[in-house]
Amino acid sequence: MPEGIYLYDAFHHRLLPIVTGDLRALAIGQGQPNVGAKAPVRLICIVDVNKLSNTSGYQEPGLQDPEIQKSYYYVDTGLIAGNVYLFAASQGLASWFHNCNKSGLTAKLNLRADQRVLFGQTVGYPVKK
Ligand SMILES: Cc1cc2nc3c(=O)[nH]c(=O)nc-3n(C[C@H](O)[C@H](O)[C@H](O)COP(=O)(O)O)c2cc1C
């Protein structure tokens, strides 16, 4: 958001401030035109592979395998993005799923090797025609 990047704490349904400053441009693919630059919110999906391979309850053995891990986090990201598209549509908002600046965000957020930036999603007001 314009004031900074927040971590979504799903358990408590709240946003925790992580970095201040307007870094929305980093949530767009490197070298890509900054379409939707005025949109108030850009979501960034980051997988925490460590959490994935240490889930509680049933442990799918494949969750230790990087290729199977990929299938889980890409499907998860698609499920989340689909929900965001549906919620945005229900509120009359526009949304756009896209790449993001992985190296820029990794540095700015000081991510560990097992935390990987995946994709971005912009949510904003539809362009009036
Ligand atoms: C994994 C993935 C990454 C994408 N990355 C981009 C991207 O970086 N830039 C882009 O313009 N569209 C990207 N798209 C496509 C957009 O999400 C969208 O489908 C496209 O912009 C057409 O949207 P529209 O039908 O609303 O015009 C990506 C789609 C997927 C599934």
- Range 93-121 average pLDDT: 97
- Report how far ligand 1's centroid is from the alpha carbon of 121 (Å): 9
Q: What is the CATH number of the domain that holds 76?
A: 3.40.109.10
Residue 37 falls inside a structural domain: yes
Residue 57 falls inside a structural domain: yes
Nearest to residue 42, comparing CAs of 100, 114, 106?
Answer: 100
Which residues approach ligand 1 with their CB closer than 6 A? 29, 32, 96-99, 119
pLDDT at 62: 85
More confidently predicted of 114 and 52: 114
Ligand 1 mutation target, pool 79, 99, 119, 129, most atoms within 8 A of CB: 99
- Calpha distance 105→26 (Å, rounded): 6
**4 has a pLDDT exceeding 90:** yes
**Whose CA is closest to atom 24 on ligand 1?**
96
pLDDT at 24: 96
- Calpha distance 105→54 (Å, rounded): 24
With beta carbons less than 8 A apart as the criterion, state whether 39 and 123 touch. Answer: yes
pLDDT 10s digits, 17-56: 999 999 999 999 999 998 889 999 999 999 999 888 787 7
Residue 129 falls inside a structural domain: no
**What is the total count of domains within the chain?**
1
**Whose CA is closest to atom 14 on ligand 1?**
98
Q: What strands lie across the sheet with 94-98, from one edge to the other?
A: 41-48, 115-124, 94-98
**123 has a pLDDT exceeding 80:** yes
**C-alpha count within 13 angstroms, C-beta hemisphere, residue 12:** 6
pLDDT 10s digits, 48-94: 998 887 877 777 888 889 999 999 999 999 999 999 999 999 999 99
User: Which residue range(s) make up the domain with 87?
Assistant: 4-124
pLDDT at 53: 79
Q: Report the Cα 13 to chain-centroid distance in Å.
A: 16
With beta carbons less than 8 A apart as the criterion, state whether 10 and 102 touch. Answer: no
pLDDT at 59: 79
